[in-house]
Copies of this chain bind each other. A is one copy, B any other.
């Protein structure tokens, strides 16, 4: 069997030390940030070129986790000062998250510099950072095959024009349900996804947490349920790991077409499910291909519609 096509991914985003409290426990100063969750999840599928900044306090253990996952750290800058720190608490049923503190530290003056060796990465993921920085990345990369971005409520509120400019230049965009509603003013997510598509991206992926994910090309819509978990420990980073599993799998797909994207969304779902089962990156930092493949098969079974091929399962309905 020939080796599958696989292309490296450049990811630019936040690297943080997270303090998170959930009904199931607490971690302090743990490895986190959008680029980290993405990079670890994608590393199971392809080569990941990371760009980000850490401070002098960034623990060696963080570097070790990324190195063990084979993540390319040439683009990781260590600046004088402290690492971006974030702390948050989830309520009893995980329906609400309260951000307790966001201290930008070295992230405040960060401007992404893409190493020469990274500039031709065929796939690029602009993780959730200020859209001005996302635009700076777009200026430095050369003929990417696929550019995907993520964002958050803060930028929709305060950097809308910059965000819309980025959206006009990407191939695919990730939003969670609230953000998709916020940026479009449409409550119905089918309409919201279609409206986002008109901003530029040809595929829009709306993450709905426990309710799964929706992918719209404007013409067609695909929905996939979440992996059924009866316990969640820490949802932090699930969206970023989702994107990492998705884009990693897409980088190994024969084609980045509808079917390739649908299958890759399953991998995103699998990586997100492992993420929420542990605190921080515990759930994804040392997976095996076997564990990923097993959960993928289990997700397929969970969402399987019988009689799908040929026989659509359409009964001959009584005439009436």
Interface residues of A (CB under 8 A from B): 1, 4, 6, 43-46, 69-70, 92-95, 187-191, 194, 208, 210-212, 214, 220-226, 228-232, 249, 252-253, 258-259, 262-263, 266, 288-289, 292-293, 296-297, 300-309, 312-320
Contacts and interface: CB of A to CB of B under 8 A. Distances in A.
B225 A225 contact: yes
Contacts of A210: 188-189
A305 B307 contact: no
Contacts of A92: 187
Ranked 7 nearest A-B pairs via Cβ:
A223-B225, A289-B317, A93-B187, A259-B306, A211-B211, A190-B230, A221-B228
A252 B315 CA distance: 8
B263 A306 contact: yes
Contacts of A263: 305-307, 313
A312 B296 contact: yes
Give chain A's interface secondary structure class: loop
Nearest to A69: B320
14 contacts: A4-B316, A188-B210, A190-B230, A191-B231, A194-B230, A211-B211, A211-B212, A220-B301, A221-B228, A222-B302, A225-B225, A259-B306, A308-B308, A309-B309
Contacts of A317: 44-45, 289, 292-293
B315 A249 contact: yes
B307 A228 contact: no
Contacts of A194: 230
Q: How many monomers of this chain does the complex have?
A: 2
A303 B303 contact: yes
A45 B318 contact: yes
Contact of A191 (B230, B252, B302): B230
Nearest to A297: B312
A309 B190 CA distance: 28
A45 B302 CA distance: 26
Contacts of A232: 188
Contacts of A319: 289
Given A187-B93, A297-B314, A316-B4, A305 B230 contact: no
Contact of A313 (B44, B189, B300, B313): B300
A315 B225 CA distance: 21
Contacts of A70: 320
A289 B296 CA distance: 36
A52 B234 CA distance: 49
A320 B259 CA distance: 26
